[in-house]
Structure 1
Amino acid sequence: MTATADHPRTHGNRRGEGHLPRGEILAAAAELLDSGGDGRAVTLRAVARRAGIATTSIYPHFPDRQALVLAVAGQAVAELSHRLRTADEAGGDAGQRLHTLCRTYLDFAHRHPGRYRLMFAGLGRPIAAVDGEVTPDDPVNAGGEVMRILTAALTACAAAGQCTSSDPAADALALWLGLHGLAHQRAVAATFRWPADIAQRVVVTLGRLGAV
């Protein structure tokens, strides 16, 4: 059964023993965000209650709230990166793949608004400013993968003659800013009647594409 705020997870370990895997603690924190919470909802006490363990059981994995928040934010960025890589491998020509990548990005932000907001509040810097190798021990740098995927997609579009970009890295940054702005505004102005093709307008304009 999926855990809810009223029905926390139950496990074979007795409360307080501290044997819950790190990944399940992170999953409990993500569930708090997905159930409508924001970054303030991710406290050690709330996550422990959600996971069905004592707060002290979290300390072997995360020494304080900041460490937990950073890990949750890094995990969210890593999940977004994975979804983008999967979307990029789905096929189609370069322009179609770029559109698919952008729809995937916006869909993640729409389906997981709490995690999406925490990605920026938790990491303390935008995805575009993060660089380096992506490793499980350094989840913050997972953000660099998002920009690498977008840059590679724009490079492929330019090589295929489907966009006019002469600087894919700079245009990928502009495109990300557009996607992030749209994702944020959709979240804070949910009742606004956005044009049905607003996402395509952002992608075509900032990606320097022709209509695909």
Structure 2
Amino acid sequence: MATHLITGSGSGIGAAVTRRLHERGDDLILLARDAGRAKQLAGVYPGARTLVADLADPDRISWAFSHQPMPDRLDSLLHIAGIVDLGPVGDLRPKTWHQQLNANLISPAELTRLMLPQLRVSQGHVIFVNSGAGLAAHAEWSAYAASKHGLKALADSLRQEEHAGGVRVTSVFPGRTASPMQARVHSQEGKEYDAARWIDPESVATAILTALDLPRDAEIDNLSVRPGR
């Protein structure tokens, strides 16, 4: 039975992936921002373990983990959580930049650093759920796109560093996906949100599990998932 540490399991793509892994009987460790959220997730996914750490504050993740039991084994680390806040460069204050860089880039880097010893032992897999914005930036997406471009750089560097030891690293670049985050984006853009126009989170989950379940003789480095309608 494989053991997976998952961020962002509460909604959208993260919830779809977590549900699929839970249904097939894998061992789950779900990252929650606080004890209340951890209790909620444990209720939704019976048998899953939880870890509490706030991705908004990467400097305290190590401290938070030092006060909790850590997994002895880890087969995959799935970075799915993320936040978005749009706006033109001329209007974005440092707080907005820090919030998105912390949650979308620095915290994934710190989680990866802390879990690498277990991942190296198991020759595990690190999956970064990125975004189309991690490949091309558009007007008013500067802070979010910068965080996701940085996440791609993190994954590319990690892949080269850990390849010889057998750790696999995959970046997944979904296009617009029907989720609470997408509803927020549409609200910020001043557009009407129609979930039927965008990718179903289950489709992105299928792509992620394909990369995760690939036999050891192959590795998916980068995977783009685009809306089909």
TM-score bracket, normalised by the shorter chain, equals 0.3 to 0.5
Greater strand share, structure number = 2
Question: Larger radius of gyration, structure 1 or 2?
Answer: 1
TM-score (ref. length: structure 1): 0.36
- The structure that is helix-richer by fraction is 1
